């Protein structure tokens, strides 16, 4: 179950509602990425409804997707950009604005002082994949290494395929100080509960790698986290933790703001790909990434071959894929 799933007070969050009509490709991507926090019940005419942090996200049969809550701006920003990439246009409606606002031609501001600084950044991968671990990395990029990384193509990390990443990361990984943590799905299933959701798990992992790296590197100017929750929510997740790193700058699209975040993302993905391949070989089945119907079929094959309990070792059991696999057994 997702964070505060059915106990949230929607009346306090209705003041911020953002919506747009999503293309079929974006709908499919959202369905995969948000699979982990979808609600069992949905409103009338809705395909699904998910609760991610303080935002309720609803995809309607018409293709309209609605983000509602205090973090609606943050939660919708990534998907608005994704829709722009997929269809070339997006018409965004924001209840907080009197005028209709389109982000089609809006350029993301990059602060040159921050971009050219020597800083630590962190990012994670694997949170939207039914199979495969969650990998979180903190990386340090000095100002002297920026030109070198740009030349390799790290600046355009969002455009890189898995094959590109497997070629590029070995070219810089020995030059860039980093700390990574791998959370296997067996560990994830032990941690995940009504009190420890996906975002809390991410916050705990980010804090650990940032603490380790910031104690090794002393001459950094900023610590940048690719934002997945408002700062007060992030630190609330860490209220029972020790050694909390607090001097953090949170950015959406953090990989554009500083290459340390882009490097952290690529290193995390590089490790994820390697671990994912190991996992496929261990079960003797070519496992698909994401959380699509192909994933359901692979899950059924694992159960047929090893029994249902095997899923607890290789899959994130709170995803809806688990229920779909049960239905076809």
CATH number of 112-279: 3.30.420.10
CATH architecture of 10-94: 2-Layer Sandwich (3.30)
Query: What is the predicted pLDDT for the residue at 217?
Result: 95
Domain pair 10-94 / 112-279, same fold: no
> What does the alpha-carbon distance between residue 164 and residue 156 come to, in Å, rounded to a whole number?
11
Percent of the chain with pLDDT over 90: 66
The count of C-alpha atoms lying within 13 angstroms of the C-alpha of 295, restricted to the half-sphere facing its C-beta, is 24
- Model pLDDT for residues 243-301, shown as the tens digit of each residue: 999 999 999 889 999 999 999 999 999 999 999 999 999 999 999 999 889 999 999 99
Query: What is the predicted pLDDT for the residue at 60?
Result: 93
**Cα–Cα distances in angstroms (integers) from residue 197 to residues 200, 201, 257, 291, 309, in the given order:** 5, 6, 27, 18, 22
Q: How open is the CA angle 44-36-166, to the nearest 5 degrees? A: 135
Q: Can you give the residue ranges of every domain in the chain?
A: 10-94, 112-279, 287-328
Say yes or no to pLDDT of 95 above 90: no
- Model pLDDT for residues 286-322, shown as the tens digit of each residue: 999 998 899 999 999 999 999 999 999 999 999 999 9
- Model pLDDT for residues 9-61, shown as the tens digit of each residue: 333 334 589 999 999 999 988 988 888 888 888 888 899 999 887 789 999 99
DSSP label of 176: S
Give the SS3 label for residue 249.
Answer: strand
Query: What is the predicted pLDDT for the residue at 229?
Result: 86
Q: Where are the alpha helices (DSSP H) in the chain?
A: 24-33, 72-87, 112-115, 146-152, 162-172, 185-191, 198-216, 231-237, 254-257, 259-283, 293-306, 311-314, 320-328
DSSP label of 92: B
């Amino acid at each position: 179950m997702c964070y505060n799933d059915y106990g949230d007070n929607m009346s306090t969050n209705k003041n911020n509602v953002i919506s747009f009509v999503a293309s079929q490709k974006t709908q499919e991507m959202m369905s995969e990425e948000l699979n982990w926090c979808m609600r069992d019940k949905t409103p009338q005419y809705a395909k699904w409804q998910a609760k991610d942090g303080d935002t309720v996200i609803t995809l309607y049969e018409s293709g309209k997707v609605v983000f509602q809550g205090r973090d609606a701006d943050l939660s919708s920003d990534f998907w608005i950009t994704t829709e722009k990439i997929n269809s070339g246009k997006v018409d965004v409606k924001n209840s907080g604005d009197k005028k209709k606002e389109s982000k089609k031609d809006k350029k993301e501001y990059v602060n040159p002082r921050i971009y050219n600084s020597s800083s630590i950044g962190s990012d994670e991968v694997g949170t939207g994949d039914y199979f495969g671990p969650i990998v979180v990395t903190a990386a340090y990029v000095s100002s002297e290494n920026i030109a070198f990384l740009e030349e390799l193509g790290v600046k355009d990390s969002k455009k890189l395929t898995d094959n590109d990443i497997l070629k590029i990361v070995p070219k810089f990984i020995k030059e860039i100080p980093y700390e990574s943590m791998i959370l296997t799905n067996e560990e994830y299933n032990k941690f995940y509960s009504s009190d420890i959701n996906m975002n809390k798990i991410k916050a705990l992992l980010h804090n650990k790698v940032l603490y380790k790296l910031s104690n090794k590197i002393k001459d950094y100017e900023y610590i940048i986290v690719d934002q997945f929750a408002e700062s007060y929510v992030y630190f609330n997740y860490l209220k029972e933790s020790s050694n909390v790193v607090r001097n953090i700058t949170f950015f959406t699209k953090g990989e554009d703001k500083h290459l340390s975040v882009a490097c952290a993302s690529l290193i995390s993905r590089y490790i994820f790909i390697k671990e994912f391949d190991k996992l496929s070989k261990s079960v003797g089945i070519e496992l698909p990434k994401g959380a699509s119907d192909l994933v359901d079929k692979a899950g059924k094959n694992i159960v047929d071959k090893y029994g249902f309990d095997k899923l607890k070792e290789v899959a994130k059991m709170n995803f809806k894929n688990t229920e779909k696999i049960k239905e076809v057994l």
